[in-house]
Amino acid sequence: MVRTGLRALGTTAALVAIYYLLPLDHTSTWIAATTLVIGLVAFIALVIFQVRSIIRSRFPGLRAVEALATSLPLFLLLFSATYLVMATVSASNFGQKLTHTDALYFTVTVFTTVGFGDITAKSEGARILVTGQMITDLIILGIGAKIILGAVRRGRQRQPGNTGAGNRTSSSPGGP
């Protein structure tokens, strides 16, 4: 468990460090949009790989935690990077200039549906992208959770000694 937790923490820390080190304020909207699309395709491929590894894992629950600790930050950082580039390219895209931290904060508030209103999408393009994130968030929260939990269930059913019904046979008290 400790090793899984450390690996998950390390992966998340590495992704966040890469995000902060990238010079996202020196790129164009087209590069950001292309990167987002490629990143989302890579995200889908990563989730497919992770579901397969959860099913095959000796400890599917722990593997699912590790999978979420990799895929969720990647997803959020992809949108955050795109928002940062959009804010850099045109000040009219958002209600204020965004830093790496501001863009990440905005992405998380959209993901959690909190929406404090301190940072807002102003241009049509920014609003379309934020709407796309909201729809994708709902898909991830609904379908993604179902897929991950289903993979954990299937992984546990594949383990030796599991009858598949969740009940293990045991000898009755007083029996041989």
The per-residue pLDDT for range 129-149, each reduced to its tens digit, is 999 999 999 988 888 788 888
Q: What is the pLDDT of residue 173?
A: 44
**Mean pLDDT of the region 154-158:** 85
Which position has the higher pLDDT, 87 or 1? 87
Q: Is the pLDDT of residue 169 over 60?
A: no
C-alpha–C-alpha distance, residues 112 and 122, integer Å: 20
Q: What is the pLDDT of residue 142?
A: 84
Q: Is the pLDDT of residue 102 over 80?
A: yes
Q: Give pLDDT tens digits for 18-72.
A: 999 988 877 777 888 888 899 899 999 998 998 898 888 888 888 888 888 889 9
Which position has the higher pLDDT, 147 or 174? 147
The domains of the chain, with CATH numbers, are 2-158 (1.10.287)
What pLDDT band is residue 163 in, cutting at 50, 70 and 90?
A: low
C-alpha–C-alpha distance, residues 129 and 107, integer Å: 11
End-to-end CA distance of the chain: 35
DSSP 121: B
What pLDDT band is residue 4 in, cutting at 50, 70 and 90?
A: confident
C-alpha–C-alpha distance, residues 135 and 137, integer Å: 5
Nearest-Å Rg of the Cα atoms of the chain is: 20
Lookup: tokens for 124: 């049509």
**Mean pLDDT of the region 105-113:** 94
